[in-house]
Chains A and B, each alone.
Chain A
Amino acid sequence: MAHTNSSASIVIRTRGLSKVYGAGGTELRALSDVNLEIRSGQLTLLMGPSGSGKTTLLSILGCILRASSGNLELLGEEITALPESALPRLRRDLIGFVFQGFNLFPALSAVENVGLALDLRGATPKAARRRAEELLMEVGLKDRMHAFPTDLSGGQKQRVAIARALAGDPPIVLADEPTAALDSTSGRTVIELLQRLAHQHARAVVMVTHDPRVLSYGDRILHLEDGRLVHEELPGPGFPPSASFAAPAASHFSEIVSGEV
């Protein structure tokens, strides 16, 4: 069900955002004149066919890629004119990333993967470990803290990735098809975690997806085609998805998403 909160603040705002790759005869326009406002406390789904510019938009919102033109504001701060050297700080302080391929460090255990995100922020090893353990408990991985990524299921890996994304307590979480590689149960766990992040922790969660199973979880659905925002949906009571996740198999599932674990 859509979650609306008129008092939620705008954390991401774009004006006339465009991205062009290459030049001259090889020029490729990935984004055209994207105007967007994303509020805290909402799970925003970004949908569109392959090549529609979803990942490019996510990369620009995540300060990984620079727009060719237009403006980007994060929490009221104009980003477009900032030098390259200022971007790592923004990524650390404002944004948490969740990747489709998990992007965990195979040489580090779950708790070390999360701790690394805190190490990046200058935390002491002890503090990083304590906070990493808390975050892993929050995502229901209390018993898998010392497992290495190769010993975790897809859903567990994605939950570690979400814990890692939350390490810096960012107001924005950007997720790139986080449920695409997961089975029904794991996918449900992950989407409900992301939804909880938005609704209970007032984060702005933007999620690129092709997965029809997650549509009912979104507060807004933005459709992108040929680099343009063409349509927006606000799922409400009359928005039953044609596909949905299977009922959770694990008994602790509801506890995880309700934060009781």
Chain B
Amino acid sequence: MALLARRNLFHDRIRFAVTLTGIVFALVLIIIQFGLFLGFTTTTSNNIDHSNADLWIVFRGVGYFDTSRMFSERKYYEVLATPGVQQAEKYIQNFANWKKPDGGVENIQIIGFHPGSGLGEPWNIVQGDLMDVKQEDGVIVDELYKEKLGVAKLGDRVEIGDHRARVVGFTRGIRSFTTSPFVYTSFKNSLDYTRPEAKEDQLAYILVQATPGISATELKNNLKTRLSDVDIYTREEFSRRTRFYWMFTTGAGLAVLTAALMGLVVGIAVVAQTIYAATMDHIREYGTLKAMGATNGYLYRVIIEQAVWSAVLGYGLAMLIAHFVVQASEKGGAVILMPPSVAVGMLFLAVVMCIAAALVSINKVTRIDPAMVFRG
């Protein structure tokens, strides 16, 4: 049985190559489209997910990142005075103009945080020192946007909102899903860069860390009883709301989502067609087996084994190709993500798709037509 399954698969090498090509194409398509979707989704909530904050406190009605609204820092002190709060930090996200050394202007998003607090800080710093943003004009940008922002190295000088700024660090892989790159600086500097919207005694978010032993939900409920005119979200809630907003209520998000779904549908169709054709190529042989007394179970096992071999080999090749595509995407504006869970999920999907497609075709064999086996 195992011999027949393997031989049927490998005997006709051209047929086998066609089968594998179909499966690999389908899987790579699904991986890339889904990876783009994941990359886009993750990018929208990157700053939240890497904030290390248990809670995000926002002005009432602000349901997602990027639409911050300033409110009084009195709330910040009320938070600090709340039992269960281990640490709280002021945080700003606001749009500003970046004037490049050559005179051009780009829109950017200023992120103001408290350096050294561990909350809301940029991550993956590959050049420079995080604490240098404490300097009056220090900013950190991502190396992906060097060209866009007109900077090449540490120390390059620019202007942000008519204030001087100097690049003191580069991160790697912190993308913005909008056309405005993130520029990280100290909370104090960020107020200067975003005037007149920002005022000295205002902030856009309060990032809170709970005392060990107190859950985020518990602290959230506690803060709710003390604070008014604000909304309080756990990190996961705020991340989810932000992702939902960008993915399901904006054209860009829906386009990526639709592309991912189309990739899945086309991929499944290609695999189904490929495996179906490969199985139907041997339909007469399965008919002969059936005539010889093979049970349906025997036929199923042969065909499923073939399908699993096809799926596993196709998956291996697809992952190899996807690995290079994912690596290449890291240097581009749109990242393709393939976390281990997705890689494992793809194997499961490949096997299920191949088996399902094979079983559809085997259905014909179980209703055997005697003329098929008796006539040459």
Contacts and interface: CB of A to CB of B under 8 A. Distances in A.
B78 interface: no
A117 interface: yes
B6 to A, nearest CB: 9
B11 A100 contact: no
Interface string B340-376: 0000000000000000000000000000101101111
B293 A168 contact: yes
Given A105-B7, A107-B10, A125-B3, 12 more contacts: A55-B371, A55-B375, A62-B370, A64-B373, A88-B294, A89-B293, A100-B376, A101-B376, A106-B11, A112-B3, A117-B292, A121-B293
B373 A99 contact: yes
A209 B298 CA distance: 32
11 contacts: A62-B370, A64-B368, A88-B290, A91-B293, A97-B292, A99-B373, A99-B374, A107-B4, A119-B1, A120-B289, A164-B292
A103 B294 contact: no
Contacts of B285: 103, 105-106
A206 to B, nearest CB: 13
A178 B370 CA distance: 16
Given A91-B292, A120-B293, A107 B370 contact: no
Nearest to A117: B292
B189 to A, nearest CB: 72
Contact of B284 (A90, A103, A120, A125): A103
B295 A88 contact: yes
A122 B368 CA distance: 22
A247 B164 CA distance: 107
Interface string A1-45: 000000000000000000000000000000000000000000000
Closest 7 CB pairs of A and B: A101-B376, A92-B293, A107-B11, A91-B293, A59-B370, A107-B7, A103-B288
A65 B375 CA distance: 15
Interface residues of B, number: 27
Contacts of B292: 91-92, 97, 117, 120, 164
A108 B4 contact: yes
A219 interface: no
Contact of B376 (A107, A125, A181): A181
Interface string A117-159: 1011100010000000000000000000000000000000000
A99 B12 CA distance: 23
B1 A58 contact: no
Given A55-B374, A108-B3, A91 B8 contact: no
Nearest to B298: A120
A64 B7 contact: no
Interface in A37-72: 55-56, 58-59, 62, 64-65
Contacts of A108: 3-4, 7
B154 interface: no
Interface of B: 1, 3-4, 7-8, 10-12, 284-285, 288-296, 298, 368, 370-371, 373-376
Contacts of A59: 370, 374
Nearest to B10: A107
Interface string A173-195: 00010000100000000000000
A56 B370 CA distance: 8
B72 to A, nearest CB: 78
Contact of B374 (A58, A106, A112, A164): A58
A113 B308 CA distance: 23
Contact of A91 (B3, B291, B375): B291
A101 B370 contact: no
A125 B12 CA distance: 23
Contacts of B298: 120
Nearest to B11: A107
Nearest to A180: B376
Contacts of B370: 55-56, 59, 62, 64-65
A42 to B, nearest CB: 21
A241 B11 CA distance: 44
A214 interface: no
B251 to A, nearest CB: 52
